[in-house]
Structure 1
């Protein structure tokens, strides 16, 4: 029970800013006393102005509903009476409270001056692993009834229920955790310290036994780790009719011959120790198609099988969905482990010491509170379970694991270490799930990261070549460079250097240089780095080709350019930086090694500092090596380029280097060293041939068995490809004319389909201009338009919001061409504005073309065309996700009909009706079809 009255408020308004004359259209206040909801007040409010269409679409509140409603000043006394002596609570309290204060002030009343709680802030602490802290997503997660999202009465009531849920979540936390949260809560943005004070006070009066699944170690409560005993291995075959068992466990299961064939072929590949490539169309069920035979083989032959995926989402899906299903089906127990790189795991020693630092920076405080709660729940210690702010991610860089620099014995947390626990579990696992990044790191590190294995499944294999290029390459962005360097600090700043100097003074440790001499070198390094970045930015801006109207620019740094006079100032400036870094590293390494060799009896905070400094020097050296590789060494087999946005240089500057080809690396380090590798994806062939894919990853056709499994969906019945003949051909008109023609066409289509439309672009600039033209036309006022990079939110959030609205249009580029899953009627129309060719001046494309030309090959047919076809297949794959889905694909790029190569795109996708016509034909056909 809380001793204060709580009023949970929600407002619906005509817009975001009261300063711009926006007004309240609905208000609701839920009153909580003694931990129970006792009353609710709700009223529409007359805004004295029309409600915008977007707000009407969002809230369902229209002008008719507020026509006879009171004006705000009429209900203001009632609102103030409800709020009197209470705590104001809202989901994003700054918005609701500031809006209410503005309306009270305008009506001639004093503002509310009591305490306020923000349930968004509270959600981040009480549920640090939630996918989203939006009201709708939280209520869905907790199965709370939320009848009318974006109406004040429903939103206020569900916020009140969330508040009570969060309070109950906090109450059951151990006292040691709550006391630490209480100390930190004084630095939060809302007045949640009142809540923590009260909960701690109540808990101290009634001390409870610690829950059996928790332990307290060195003052921090942790969930106990379950030690998996090695499971009994079996030599007999797992006899099981898999289809029959799937039918028993999945109500909607349909037997798929292609899936059974895939299972047989994967098992055969492992049994014979051979490689296999499988293209499994949408609906085949490829995850189970490789997991079940992998499990059979692992148990029968006492061999672990590694599954590698491209995205962390698919890793989690495999673990939470398919693996759980197999645990129910399989007649023998088995063990699966999700294994990631060290820096995914928390270093508990560093975290313990960070709690002792007096820190008031908001993101750091919030992240510490999130971690304290999370440690009572996590079994993995994996950061991917946490939903951190961007500032929290930076703080995590201090806490992440990177091994030990002092002996293990000096870390008092080693027995509780999550990374070691994951490694130990992986040693006895039948199936290890990892990602392409970890797999490639393991190859580079000669098998030091993943326990030894000979059998491997690579899912989303169409990303393998790109992942390998990125992993063997270098990415340096301006902000990360500055952040890494700034962690060192100077002698008079309370950062690493200052703290290490204090430790040196205490134990009489001296370096080769006097501290002031070293500090001068550090200060000079910062000056040299700033100068080098400015010189690089100027060279970039001067030499980069600027496309008209485009803000993002790119510059390839060829070997000729690196040898030119114009590049010399960059080279000289970077040489000074590299030399300074080497000197600073040498001095600090010597100091740390002296501390280590003296075997001093360091306090825990001092040990943690030494560990942290060693970790920092690992990053420092890595950065120095990358600078050397990019600016001082020859990069004959690499392509080097700079990216940036003209509106925010140098902050947006990115330096990238990638090997032009990785086929030989993969052939020698992966395929030659493993007995059985299965590569699979929904998109691997071009015109029914695996040649392009195999060539990119370094496999010859005689080294691998090929299997193509078509989608079981009837595309002739469920999908149609439409090619408009009344739009200009790309290249025959200016970019602006093309965008204008496409925009007006898309408006007509959107009106016919009532939204439910995903429009895919190959350039962000074209996306932005099309979005602006369609929005400004005034013809789509009833529609919600959402665009990647314009509307805020991640790809996942944009997709979820798109599914929430009836009349929605989603504009996407790059990442939206694949991995977006919008089943059912939410998506009925997919529009592809251009065929997805990489720009010919894109650095990797350009470098590959030069090599192919030198080999006497045609770069277009050997690389550009097959790469575009695979992306096209990915894009078309967004439309039909289930057998019951229906929809239309519109391809605006007329090259699909007017060029000799156009037919290769159509032949590479599942067979479906192809129609051609003008906008009127299309609208008439859509209305009949949908």
Structure 2
């Protein structure tokens, strides 16, 4: 039970915000605050600080306009400060993360009487590594012969950029965060300036005191509120928690855009290995070890394993050379090949198993070598190598160790055989670009992450809030609960939007002559758009496929040239900027967008008064993970369309409809050009899950 003092503090802070920000008190916002506070207040700890009950997880679907960010901050922050926990707010998109960091938290800090600090948490790869920048500049000046196992030395054309970044960082004009650079920087350029955890020598680095990443980590340690993204949270949890972010038992998590959590987790646990890519880096490693031994010799502690390393590499390469023609034959002309029930053909599986033993020996050798090189950077340690050798070789060997670890983990998933009755692992092959040619990538992924999230997150965290405008599917939390493994003690609440939808907007299910499966559908869509789109207004047209978007663009480009903005032909931010500029000037503007424009885009008022959804956003039918889940459901006599496909489409459809009404003064129309909403029985389920717009025909 929330103690009286904390409850009164939350209520007082809410009144302060309402008054200072000139907001109207909203019933839904108050309900959300109360539910979150009640859930977190039910957590009890023993004298050692260990949680002694199963409470503290609130799942709140908050309709558009609820003011959910303010609600969860006001409910959770006082509890976090009182209990000496960190409040970690995690988002799925950069847009929401920036809004929370640049607008919501600064406004709250200025408004309420309770002092707090906040900081942004990002992965190491988003920050400048001074050591690598220094090495790149020395290499360009001819002062350093950089060891380069990847044949990608810094280029002379980048010298001016690198020198400018060093000056900006040294003068304090830039904090080393890639995302805060005023200009874009190519991945190929940034790769010379940032370090992976295996390349980083941590406190042994001569630049440690000025390190951008560790400065950010230090600021995070002082913060009461930490803003991160789902990917970083999942990466930290997979390392045991507390590796980059605060430990779970010291943290109250808020997963905003929580409907993405399961998909993000699935992507995080997916492992893959390109056949040609693996062959390339192993060949580079063989060459690199030869160079290393020539330059540094073989220390006594590595005499046996390092002398065997070339043969281990050749053994792995021999197996890979046999894998390539086999997978090529399996693929044929297909772009993707999924193995039924996740069972890999035994001849391919045996070839992959043959790699494991020599790879394990190689992995142990690289791990020990990396550790020796790390220690040789520290003047306080007994050195196996000179400092020059350690500085030259530690980073490239660290990268090679990381690649060996990734391959070893991928092989474990690819070769494993699940116990009878256990959830299968999805396994598949796919053709992917590789240089000027292509590669075949072998992939493996669990089909569900509920057990991992239950074990690593829900059972360990002090408390958690999962929120979004779309957590239910077909008016049920069942899909979310199953996919994310939410525990039975979690509490669920739906907070309705304060918007009066019947007065603000209308919903038009359009019955074209054909449905999306017909060849006639594209022509019917174009005919309807030509007749119904008002070129003087702000319009958002959402497509489910890039091919259809581009085909429609080709049809209308000449007639709509002054109004049309298409995703894929301009950056997303530039499309939004130009669109707003045109509407502000009293002109019309039309956006053709895909899935990323159906969610997270905020175009209030006249910026969008007509949203057109070309068809029901069903998932791509050839997605191997979704296909594996469907196969597993069918094997148990269940209906994958009703349990998986339709609920997922419902969430995406609600998100797309949410682009129309963003404030209480907005108005407009949503048109859905998919007659299946009216002709199929499931159409009523989809329509009933949408906001209650006034229905028109």
1:802 paired to 2:579: yes
Unaligned runs of at least 5 residues, structure 1: 1-233, 545-552, 917-930
Distance between the aligned counterparts of 1:634 and 1:346, measured in 2?
42
Residues 472-525 of structure 1: CA distance to partner in whole angstroms, max 9, x if unpaired?
Answer: 222446797588668x4664xxxx55763564159999855899x977986897
Task: Provide closer, same or farther for how the CA distance between residues 821 and 498 of structure 1 changes in structure 2, counting only shifts above 3 A.
Answer: farther
Contact 2:537-2:588 at 8 Å conserved across structures: yes
Task: Provide closer, same or farther for how the CA distance between residues 891 and 841 of structure 1 changes in structure 2, counting only shifts above 3 A.
Answer: same
Q: What secondary structure, in the 3-state scheme, does the structure 2 residue paired with 1:562 have?
A: coil
Q: How does 1:42-441 map to 2 (within 5 A)?
A: 238=9, 241-247=12-18, 249-250=20-21, 253-273=23-43, 274-358=56-140, 361=155, 364-365=158-159, 367-375=161-169, 376-377=171-172, 381-386=176-181, 391-393=186-188, 395-396=190-191, 399-402=194-197, 410-441=204-235
1:638 paired to 2:425: yes
Distance between the aligned counterparts of 1:617 and 1:561, measured in 2?
30
The corresponding residue for 1:727 is 513
Contact 1:639-1:660 at 8 Å conserved across structures: yes
Deviation at 1:914, TM superposition (A): 1.4
1:674 paired to 2:461: yes
1:833 paired to 2:614: yes
1:457 paired to 2:254: yes
Distance between the aligned counterparts of 1:588 and 1:455, measured in 2?
38
Contact 1:277-1:707 at 8 Å conserved across structures: yes
Residues 548-597 of structure 1: CA distance to partner in whole angstroms, max 9, x if unpaired?
Answer: xxxxx432133576226xxx4x5576567767755655555565566658
Unaligned runs of at least 5 residues, structure 2: 44-55, 141-152
Distance between the aligned counterparts of 1:360 and 1:427, measured in 2?
35
Task: Provide closer, same or farther for how the CA distance between residues 367 and 582 of structure 1 changes in structure 2, counting only shifts above 3 A.
Answer: farther
The corresponding residue for 1:447 is 241
The corresponding residue for 2:296 is 504
Q: What secondary structure, in the 3-state scheme, does the structure 2 residue paired with 1:811 have?
A: strand
Distance between the aligned counterparts of 1:258 and 1:513, measured in 2?
65
1:739 paired to 2:522: yes
Residues 69-106 of structure 1: CA distance to partner in whole angstroms, max 9, x if unpaired?
Answer: xxxxxxxxxxxxxxxxxxxxxxxxxxxxxxxxxxxxxx
Deviation at 1:278, TM superposition (A): 0.8
Contact 1:802-1:809 at 8 Å conserved across structures: yes
Distance between the aligned counterparts of 2:670 and 2:592, measured in 1?
15
* Of 306, 330, 333, the match for 1:539: 330
Task: Provide closer, same or farther for how the CA distance between residues 765 and 428 of structure 1 changes in structure 2, counting only shifts above 3 A.
Answer: same
Q: What secondary structure, in the 3-state scheme, does the structure 2 residue paired with 1:689 have?
A: coil
In terms of Rg, which structure is larger?
A: 1
Deviation at 1:363, TM superposition (A): 6.5
Contact 1:478-1:651 at 8 Å conserved across structures: no
Contact 1:266-1:293 at 8 Å conserved across structures: yes
Distance between the aligned counterparts of 1:591 and 1:668, measured in 2?
34
Deviation at 1:897, TM superposition (A): 0.9
Distance between the aligned counterparts of 1:890 and 1:647, measured in 2?
41
Task: Provide closer, same or farther for how the CA distance between residues 489 and 843 of structure 1 changes in structure 2, counting only shifts above 3 A.
Answer: closer
Distance between the aligned counterparts of 2:10 and 2:619, measured in 1?
49
* Of 435, 445, 452, the match for 1:665: 452
Contact 1:367-1:388 at 8 Å conserved across structures: no
Q: How does 1:469-868 map to 2 (within 5 A)?
A: 469-476=266-273, 488=284, 491=287, 500-501=292-293, 503-504=295-296, 512=304, 532=323, 536-537=327-328, 539-542=330-333, 544=334, 553-558=335-340, 562-563=344-345, 568=347, 585=363, 588-589=366-367, 599-600=382-383, 605-634=388-417, 637-644=424-431, 650-651=437-438, 654-699=441-486, 703-731=489-517, 733-734=518-519, 737-750=520-533, 752-754=534-536, 756-775=538-557, 778=558, 780-789=559-568, 791=569, 793-805=570-582, 806-868=587-649
Distance between the aligned counterparts of 1:266 and 1:499, measured in 2?
59
The corresponding residue for 2:144 is none
Deviation at 1:448, TM superposition (A): 2.9
Distance between the aligned counterparts of 2:133 and 2:407, measured in 1?
27
The corresponding residue for 1:190 is none
Q: TM-score, normalised by structure 2?
A: 0.82
Q: How does 1:871-886 map to 2 (within 5 A)?
A: 871-886=652-667
Contact 1:263-1:289 at 8 Å conserved across structures: yes
Residues 222-252 of structure 1: CA distance to partner in whole angstroms, max 9, x if unpaired?
Answer: xxxxxxxxxxxx999647644553355436x
Task: Provide closer, same or farther for how the CA distance between residues 281 and 688 of structure 1 changes in structure 2, counting only shifts above 3 A.
Answer: same
Distance between the aligned counterparts of 1:856 and 1:281, measured in 2?
35
Deviation at 1:679, TM superposition (A): 0.9
Task: Provide closer, same or farther for how the CA distance between residues 749 and 581 of structure 1 changes in structure 2, counting only shifts above 3 A.
Answer: farther
Distance between the aligned counterparts of 1:672 and 1:514, measured in 2?
43
Residues 401-460 of structure 1: CA distance to partner in whole angstroms, max 9, x if unpaired?
Answer: 416776x56322223334334444434432222221222223222223222324221111
Q: What secondary structure, in the 3-state scheme, does the structure 2 residue paired with 1:729 have?
A: coil
Contact 1:822-1:878 at 8 Å conserved across structures: yes
Contact 2:447-2:625 at 8 Å conserved across structures: yes
Task: Provide closer, same or farther for how the CA distance between residues 654 and 563 of structure 1 changes in structure 2, counting only shifts above 3 A.
Answer: closer
Task: Provide closer, same or farther for how the CA distance between residues 800 and 442 of structure 1 changes in structure 2, counting only shifts above 3 A.
Answer: same
Contact 2:128-2:193 at 8 Å conserved across structures: no
Residues 727-755 of structure 1: CA distance to partner in whole angstroms, max 9, x if unpaired?
Answer: 31233x33xx21111112112223x3436
1:891 paired to 2:672: yes
Q: What secondary structure, in the 3-state scheme, does the structure 1 residue paired with 2:138 have?
A: coil
Q: What secondary structure, in the 3-state scheme, does the structure 2 residue paired with 1:909 have?
A: coil
Contact 1:276-1:704 at 8 Å conserved across structures: yes
Q: What secondary structure, in the 3-state scheme, does the structure 2 residue paired with 1:901 have?
A: helix
Contact 1:895-1:902 at 8 Å conserved across structures: yes
Residues 154-201 of structure 1: CA distance to partner in whole angstroms, max 9, x if unpaired?
Answer: xxxxxxxxxxxxxxxxxxxxxxxxxxxxxxxxxxxxxxxxxxxxxxxx
Contact 2:282-2:313 at 8 Å conserved across structures: no
Task: Provide closer, same or farther for how the CA distance between residues 787 and 265 of structure 1 changes in structure 2, counting only shifts above 3 A.
Answer: same
Q: What is the Cα-based RMSD across aligned positions, in Å?
A: 3.7
Residues 43-73 of structure 1: CA distance to partner in whole angstroms, max 9, x if unpaired?
Answer: xxxxxxxxxxxxxxxxxxxxxxxxxxxxxxx
Q: What secondary structure, in the 3-state scheme, does the structure 2 residue paired with 1:355 have?
A: helix
Task: Provide closer, same or farther for how the CA distance between residues 341 and 647 of structure 1 changes in structure 2, counting only shifts above 3 A.
Answer: closer
Contact 1:535-1:573 at 8 Å conserved across structures: no
Deviation at 1:711, TM superposition (A): 1.6
Distance between the aligned counterparts of 1:637 and 1:824, measured in 2?
48
Distance between the aligned counterparts of 2:273 and 2:592, measured in 1?
29
